[in-house]
Amino acid sequence: MNWQTFDSTDALADAAARIFLDAIRSDPRIVLGLPTGRTPIGMYERVVRDCTREYHCFRDVTTFNLDEYAGVPREHSGSYFAYMKQHLFEHVDVDPQNTHLPNGMAPDLDAECARYESEIRDAGGLGLTFLGLGRNGHIGFNEPGTPFDARTRVVELTQSTRHANADCFPEGHVPTHAITMGIGTILDSAAIVLLVSGSGKEEALQRLRSGEIDASFPASALWMHRNVRVLVCVAPSSSSSPSS
């Protein structure tokens, strides 16, 4: 694992956006795995800003999101579909046909999971996947206890994850289930970038740094992958540069 520590969320977002854009420049047909949550918002802002200056930045890019809530319509502001539209897709020249999120409203969710896995396979597999880190160590919505070979499937969210994401559901109906790429699906990505920032992540970060690989801490599976970069912001403040 390659670790970089930043002393501001701005610096982390700059570095993440650079990795994102460099990957597209070196392979305009790249297949990206994309995260949601608060952490990647700064990265998406910078990607959008830079892409408006470049011709056909996203024209041949394909994206697969890590996860989506079950039972939440795409039009709902809390859906990850709405998030991606707001933070990225609406602002770049990506072909909507090439943007993929699991359909949490599908009548048969298990069939939807199998379909999503085969869509990723048919696209040639993930080339570069960005991840955030849940406070309990989850990646995507792979909660503690997930086997490392799990594929895309329906999962029940833990109380702590529902609590952490409750802001997006002000009416109070925080979803209980989601569809997520499995840890095995994520580990198949050629390269992975884990973004860690936000309050309450210190313990998870410490556990990840320990190097102990255990299913009770899903992110520890990343130690089994050969090409992982971890970008960490330890103290949220404004503008500064990488310290290592």
Going by the DSSP 8-state scheme, the letter that residue 70 receives in this structure is: T
| Residue that has been written with the tokens 């102990």 in this structure | 212
- Of 57 and 78, nearer to ligand GLP (C-beta) is 78
Contacts (CB under 6 A) with ligand GLP, residues 78-117:
none
192 to 211, contacts with ligand GLP by CB under 6 A? 198
Are 55 and 148 spatial neighbours (Cβ–Cβ below 8 Å)? no
Classify residue 234 as exposed, middle or buried by CB count within 10 Å of its CB (0-12, 13-18, 19+). Answer: middle
Query: Measuring CA to CA, which residue among 65, 151, 61, 142 is closest to residue 103?
Result: 65
> Closer to ligand GLP at the Cβ: 39 or 146?
39
Establish whether 142 is a catalytic residue. no
- Residue 36 or 98: the one with the smaller Cβ distance to ligand GLP is 36
Could you tell me if 130 and 35 are in contact, meaning their C-beta atoms sit under 8 angstroms apart? yes
38 sits near ligand GLP (criterion: CB under 6 A): yes
The alpha-helical segments, DSSP class H, found in 30-168 are 41-51, 80-87, 109-122, 159-164
Task: Give the DSSP letter of residue 90.
Answer: G
Residue from 79, 136, 161, 185 binding ligand GLP (CB under 6 A): 161
Closest-CA residue to 94 (of 59, 52, 44): 59
Mask: binding to ligand GLP, 121-160, rule CB under 6 A, as x and -?
-----------xxx-----xx-------------------
Please select the residue that binds ligand GLP; options are 9, 39, 62, 220, rule is CB under 6 A. 39
Dihedral angle sign, alpha carbons of residues 196, 200, 202, 205: negative
Number of shown-chain residues binding ligand GLP (CB under 6 A): 15
185 binds ligand GLP per the rule CB under 6 A: no
Residues lying near ligand GLP in the complex (CB under 6 A) are found at 35-39, 66-67, 132-134, 140-141, 161, 165, 198
Query: Which residues are designated catalytic?
Result: 67, 136, 138, 143
